[in-house]
Amino acid sequence: MRQIVLDTETTGISPSDGHRIIEIGCLELENRRLTGRSFHHYLQPDREIEQEAIAVHGITNDFLIGKPRFSDVAQEFMKFISGAELIIHNAPFDIAFINHEFKLLDNSFSTIVGICQVLDTLVLARQKHPAQKNNLDALARRYGADHRERTYHGALLDAEILADVYLAMTGGQVGLSLHDDADGEGGQQEVIQRLSANRLPLKVIKANEQELSEHEARLGIIDKACGGSCVWRQLA
């Protein structure tokens, strides 16, 4: 299954007020493994960035001078995400901005739901952790994915963190703690360590004849001790 972990940074809160996307970051997953393929661009929005937004992501108006516009990368972006399931935290926010950017182009561009399925990890997190903090920072701490140092939010960096959080959140128990701490973030968790997609396959060592014989003898002892109900033999 092909999935794209996606995040954006913007000039402000709402596209209905004319705000625009200024950064898109995407990472590709194939069968729950990072492939190493990504899509990342800073974008010239043709408008001023609100100071409140700069305080969040640190992207300034001067930094974006000379950067491409969304229209310059739209086809490449569409090709990268088409047919995939998008993994987004608080998806309505990012989807609204992307659809707004599409709307500013010509009619050949569809809405996101017309080309992709969308999985909102905020909805998923609220189902798994009701009455707890479920923003990306809180989830990163809960699942041990907050090992990257950062001062500001960034689309590609947040997509990397979200990929770790999503894989941990949908892959079973991460830590052994059964109790939440005072701020609802849970106990100590394992730190996620990524394995290279290009790593060598594990070597499989098969039992030899002597080992198989000894194993069978041990099963006989177990079978006799439990009255002929050895589960291992029933499964064999």
**Are the CB atoms for 140 and 165 separated by under 8 Å?**
yes
Characterize the bridge pairing of strands 117-120 and 85-88.
parallel
Q: State pLDDT tens for residues 101-110.
A: 999 997 777 7
On average, the pLDDT of the chain sits at: 86
The domain ranges of the chain are 2-169, 205-236
pTM of the model: 0.73
Catalytic residue among 19, 41, 89, 153: 153
Q: State pLDDT tens for residues 94-141.
A: 999 999 999 999 777 778 988 899 999 999 999 999 999 999 999 999
Q: Which pLDDT tens digits describe the chain residue by residue (236 residues)?
A: 999 999 999 999 999 999 999 999 999 999 999 999 999 999 999 999 999 999 999 999 999 999 999 999 999 999 999 999 999 999 999 999 999 999 999 777 778 988 899 999 999 999 999 999 999 999 999 998 876 666 678 999 999 999 999 999 998 544 444 444 444 444 444 455 666 777 778 788 888 999 888 888 888 888 777 777 777 777 76
Q: Is 153 a catalytic residue?
A: yes
The domain covering 2-169 belongs, at the CATH homologous superfamily level, to: Ribonuclease H-like superfamily/Ribonuclease H (3.30.420.10)
* CB-facing half-sphere around the CA of 57: CA atoms within 13 A: 25
Question: Helices marked H in the chain — which ranges?
Answer: 51-57, 70-81, 91-104, 121-128, 136-142, 155-169, 209-225, 231-235
Q: b/e string for 104-143 if b means 16 or more Cβ within 10 A?
A: eeeeebeebeeebeebbbbebbeeebeebebebebbbbbb
